[in-house]
Structure formats: C-alpha cells, structure tokens
Chain A
Amino acid sequence: MATSSSCVVISDEEQGYDLDLFCIPKHYAADLERVYIPHGLILDRTERLAREIMKEMGGHHIVALCVLKGGYKFFADLLDYIKALNRNSDRSIPMTVDFIRLKSYCNDQSTGEIKVIGGDDLSTLTGKNVLIVEDIIDTGKTMKTLLQLLKQYNPKMVKVFNAPVFMKETHPFSLFLCVSVVGFEVPDKFVVGYALDYNEYFRDLNHICVISETGKEKYKA
C-alpha cells in the first residue's frame, strides 16, 4: 500500500531474517541479532531512487555531494545506478562529485552553526542541481543549517537523501521539510550495516541488521 511518502515501509512488527539465511562477515557472527533489510533489497530500491532522481534533477548538471563517512556506501551505489542510466539513454547529464564532512557547533542556545570541511569551494554549486547524500542524523537540525548555508551560493535545486533509511520516530517534523526522497522507513530499532555504523564498526557489513547485546558491549566506545 503506497503511503504519501512513497517508500518501502517496514512495520514495527517486522522481525527480520535469521542470520543463517544470508552471508554475513564471520567477524560479526556474534554481534548481530537478525538481518533486517537484505543488501539486495537496498540495491533494488536504490536503483529505483536513481530513476526518480534523474526524472527530477536530470535536466541540468548535477553535483553529487557525499556527506562522509556514513553516506559513502549509499553514495557509491546510487551513483552507479545513475551512471548506468546515463550511459544507456540518448539523453545524459554531466555529473561531478564532491565529499564533505559536517562539524556542528552547538552553543547553549542550540542555534547550531555548522562547518563544512573538505569539499571544493561551495561556489562550484552555483546554478547546479545539488544532490546531497548523507547518513542518518538525529534531529535534522544539522541538515537544515547546511541547506541554509548552501542557499547563499544559489544552486538551481537541492535535494537530500538519507542513506537510505529514514527513521520516523527519531526525526521531528522539521526534517520532513528537508528529506526529499526516501528509500525505507523503519521503526526505531538499533540497526547497523550498509551505511550505518556503531562506533565506526559495521560499515563493512552489507545488510542492514539489528545489533545484538554482545555487539553493543564489544564495540562500546
């Protein structure tokens, strides 16, 4: 049943899959409970997201902006699908890439200033269609601030992707203003894998999985 946000909705009751039904890296064998979203499903959804993006943004030079580190896996996969569309149709759109890190400075008033580290000069965004690919974030405040910052450089259009999972409960209403297209909507479970890390671990896991108590202990900060 398609919802108004038009994404794959995973219900609260969803249990996921037994680990034995899939391949997972041996070093994480004890650290995971269940496979929640298999890698292949993520890729299939991403393939469709690529098509949606090309429909909305494919009229003009795209700058794909990857917010490190969590965004990079989804970024690479998404771009692979966009590139495939580009080389197999008569119409294609030039695309340049860049990588940034966001450092947020919160003062007592939580006005939330952010610093953009590592990318090219932001003036390269002027007049372009900007596609931001980023990790899950907690409140969306950082993304809102980033979008405000980018506006000063007059991009033609800006769209934001959370990579690729959108947790309804942890995002207050304000985020709905930022996130344009959603891969999956999931309940607020402790998930890791694909783009999502736990203290830098689990980035090398293909499926999105639920972490086990053992895992939480082992990789505690």
Chain B
Amino acid sequence: MAEVGVQTGRRRRHEGIVIGDDWPGYSLDLFSYPAHYSGDLDCVIVPHGVIMDRTERLARNIMDDLGDHHIVVLCVLKGGYQFCADLVDQIKALSCTSEHTILMRVHFIRLKSYLNDQSTEDLHILGAEDLSFLTGKNVLIVEGIVGTGKTMETLLKHVEAFRPKMIKVAGLLVKRVQNRSARVPDYVGFEIPNRFVVGYALDYNEYFRDLNHICVISDSGKKKYKI
C-alpha cells in the first residue's frame, strides 16, 4: 500500500504512517461510498478501516504517555469531530480494559480559515473566548488535518495564554508542505502528500463530511461545489 517510514522505534514514532507522493491511491470501485458523490472523487487515499486501526494505536500511545491523568480534550470543529469521536472512543475502551485509565472531558472550539481549497489569512476561533477552564490542566488538542501549521500555531498561542499545565496535539493527517511552521503534532495518524483531501469530516465547502474514507477530490468535484 503506502510507503512506511523505515525506522520504527520511539524516535520516529510521531511521524505516523507515511503516504508517498507517488502513490496513486485506491480506485473508488473497490469500496463503498455515497452514490451522491459519484464523479466528485479521484481516489481513496486512506480507507476508513485503516483510519480506525491507526487511531486505535494512537489511543494506546496516548494512554502510554498520559495514563492515569485527567485530560481536557479540545476538539477542533468541524473537521476534527469525527477523529475526536473515534479517538475518544478508543481511549475509553482502553480505560476499561487496560491497567491504566484517562478521565477525559471534552470541549469544542471552531476554526474557520478555508475558502474553497485555499487557506485564507484570517483565522476565526469561535467558542474559545473563555478558555480559563484550561488553566493548570492537561490539554489534548484534537485536529483533523494540519497543513502549513499556521492555524495550529495561532490556536496554540491562544490556548497557551490560559496557562494550561501541558498541551499535546493529536492530528489525524499532516500534510507534507514546504513552508511548515515549527510544531508537528505529538500524535500523528498519517503523513500525506500536499493534495486537497476530503472525507472523514474533512470538507470542501461543507461537502464530503458525510464520506467515511479519506479521498482526493476530483476537478469536476471542485467545480461542482465551488463557492
């Protein structure tokens, strides 16, 4: 399938599953997807089941690091909601069956910075005016996708101002981009090529959130749903 990072072991653990630029993805015919998106997608880049399996492992890594702590999960809407729901579910399962447990409380904030498929300069953080409940707490920010990292930087600065005890970031997808800002998430699901992807709560102008695989949008799809 995809190119896996050569070294295993804790040092490179945070890279995630690396999906190479040359990899063409899976044909849509091999999977089930909503009929109303026929013609709007090029290929499946990460099937839903693989997302779930990878998330299961991220949950274990988080449990290894943060086990027996209380954490506040900060879910970044809307793109992060599916990953957050599934990640929290996996951590819950471990809290029931493994030796350790994590008490989680979940809060939601919303970031708005994309128009069509371009990242805009203005970042709006909604629902995050008063994050004073984060002071002194362990915070786990859960985000669906990290691109240049600009959005994540802005969000981190905002959260840090409320002086939490510790901040960790879990990102399902991290794009390989040239001008990446400093911080890579602590827990990365997949490192992907710099293409515009949709599905698993990631949208193109609000469409495709109801698609459970991560796919590459087609040119006709971009045109059809353009604003």
Q: Report yes or no: B36 in contact with A25, Cβ–Cβ below 8 A.
A: no
Q: B126 in the interface, Cβ–Cβ < 8 Å?
A: yes
Q: Report yes or no: B207 in contact with A203, Cβ–Cβ below 8 A.
A: no
The stretch of A88-96, A145-153, A171-179 in contact with B is A88-96
Q: A118 in the interface, Cβ–Cβ < 8 Å?
A: yes
Q: Which residue of chain A has the shortest Cβ distance to B108 in the bound complex?
A: A68
**A76, A90, A93 pick with most chain B CB within 10 angstroms:** A76
Q: B4 in the interface, Cβ–Cβ < 8 Å?
A: no
Q: Report yes or no: A99 in contact with B108, Cβ–Cβ below 8 A.
A: yes
Q: What chain A residues lie within 8 Å of B105 (beta carbons)?
A: 200-201, 203-204
Q: Which residue of chain A has the shortest Cβ distance to B73 in the bound complex?
A: A204
Q: Report yes or no: A94 in contact with B36, Cβ–Cβ below 8 A.
A: yes
Q: B9 in the interface, Cβ–Cβ < 8 Å?
A: no
Q: Report yes or no: A93 in contact with B207, Cβ–Cβ below 8 A.
A: no
8 Å CB interface, A39-81 against B: 68-69, 72-73, 76, 79-80
Q: A86 in the interface, Cβ–Cβ < 8 Å?
A: yes
Give, as a whole number of angstroms, the nearest-CB distance from B204 to chain A.
11
Give, as a whole number of angstroms, the nearest-CB distance from B5 to chain A.
30
Q: What chain A residues lie within 8 Å of B210 (beta carbons)?
A: 79, 82-83, 86, 94-97
> Count the A-B residue pairs with Cβ separation under 8 angstroms: how many?
100
Q: Report yes or no: A27 in contact with B103, Cβ–Cβ below 8 A.
A: yes
Chain B contact surface mostly: mixed
Complex CA gap A82/B101 in Å reads: 31
Q: B178 in the interface, Cβ–Cβ < 8 Å?
A: no
Give, as a whole number of angstroms, the nearest-CB distance from A101 to chain B.
7
Q: Report yes or no: A101 in contact with B101, Cβ–Cβ below 8 A.
A: no
- Which of A26, A72, A203, A205 is within 8 Å of B81, CB to CB? A72
**B89, B110, B210 pick with most chain A CB within 10 angstroms:** B210
Q: B55 in the interface, Cβ–Cβ < 8 Å?
A: no
Q: Report yes or no: A90 in contact with B81, Cβ–Cβ below 8 A.
A: no
Known: A83-B34, A87-B32. A26 touches B207 (CB 8 A): no
Complex CA gap A80/B95 in Å reads: 23
Q: A167 in the interface, Cβ–Cβ < 8 Å?
A: no
Complex CA gap A71/B81 in Å reads: 12
Q: Report yes or no: B85 in contact with A73, Cβ–Cβ below 8 A.
A: yes
Q: B1 in the interface, Cβ–Cβ < 8 Å?
A: no
Q: What chain B residues lie within 8 Å of A205 (beta carbons)?
A: 92
Q: Report yes or no: B77 in contact with A96, Cβ–Cβ below 8 A.
A: no
Q: Report yes or no: A92 in contact with B85, Cβ–Cβ below 8 A.
A: no
Known: A86-B34, A91-B35, A94-B36. A72 touches B106 (CB 8 A): yes
Chosen A-B contacts, 8 in total, with CB atoms closer than 8 Å, are A82-B210, A83-B210, A86-B34, A89-B35, A96-B206, A97-B201, A99-B77, A118-B126
Q: Apart from A25-B92, A76-B82, list 5 A-B contacts with CB within 8 A.
A: A83-B34, A92-B35, A97-B78, A97-B210, A117-B127
Interface residues of B (CB under 8 A from A): 32-36, 77-78, 81-82, 85, 88-89, 91-93, 95-97, 100-108, 110, 126-127, 201, 206-207, 209-212
